[in-house]
């Protein structure tokens, strides 16, 4: 019974930390989504205005790759809940 009383505050603390990590994770997913759109738009502008086609193509490709990675982590998020 003593072990249960000692572990209860620890599990509460871990639950609080996990909720903060979940909030940070949601913010990072939002930033990743917005940045992928911005990178694709900047790359498309560079590519289609003939300012720097090779850099524009690379930015479009990296923006699409970033969007795919963010979508993967949206579909399969890490587990922040214990137990």
Q: What are the residue ranges of helices labelled H in the chain?
A: 2-48, 53-75
* Annotated domain spans of the chain: 24-75
Contact in structure between 59 and 42 (CB atoms under 8 Å) = yes
DSSP 82: -
pLDDT at position 6, please? 58
pLDDT tens digits for range 20-66 = 888 899 999 999 999 999 999 999 999 999 899 999 999 999 999 99
- pLDDT surpassing 50 at residue 83: no
Q: Residue 9 — pLDDT band, cuts 50, 70, 90?
A: confident
The interaxial angle of helices 2-48 and 53-75, nearest 10 deg, is: 150
- pLDDT surpassing 70 at residue 72: yes
């Amino acid at each position: 019974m003593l072990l249960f009383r000692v572990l209860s505050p620890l599990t509460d603390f871990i639950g609080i930390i996990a909720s903060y990590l979940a909030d940070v994770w949601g913010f990072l997913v939002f930033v990743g989504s917005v940045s992928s759109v911005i990178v694709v738009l900047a790359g498309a502008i560079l590519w289609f205005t003939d300012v720097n086609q090779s850099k524009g193509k690379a930015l479009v490709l990296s923006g699409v790759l970033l969007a795919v990675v963010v979508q993967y982590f949206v579909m399969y998020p890490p587990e922040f809940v214990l137990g």
